[in-house]
Amino acid sequence: MPVKNHTVLGDHRGKLVALESNIDTPFDIKRVFYIYGALPDVPRGQHSHHITQQYLIAVNGSCQVTLDDGVQKQTYTLDHPYIGLFQDALVWGEMHDFSEDCVLLVLASEHYNKDDYIHNYEDFLKVIEQ
């Protein structure tokens, strides 16, 4: 199951969630980015990666993430900052239904490389059939 609840630490001063490479994510973290200000009715993502794995966390607000391995599609709700979702390489991903206050944090296993992206769904299906 790609969804993981993380331990929340803290006291009266506030909460803390720690994430560590190869412990909380199944990879070394090489890139971190976040999405905010996304419109609720405009999907993001809509691509796959050849080798990059990702770990997604809605650190504020909420969104839906649909993962598609070419056989099965499943939609997950990210709505707590202690819930993470793993997206493996060669899995089509789409983020959608963003709340107005959503901040989606993404931890990636690879540095940005435009050649790692598969932007066309039909091309994605051809790659996974090989």
One of 6, 47, 50, 80 is an active-site residue; which one?
A: 47
Provide the 10 A C-beta neighbour count for residue 84: 22
d(C-alpha 26, C-alpha 33), whole Å: 18
Residue 90's SS3 state is coil
49 assigned to active site: no
Bridge-based pairing of strands 9-11 and 14-16 is: antiparallel
- Under 8 Å between Cβ of 104 and 95: yes
- Under 8 Å between Cβ of 16 and 67: no
Residue 26, phi then psi, degrees to nearest 5 = -85, 30
Active site residues: 47
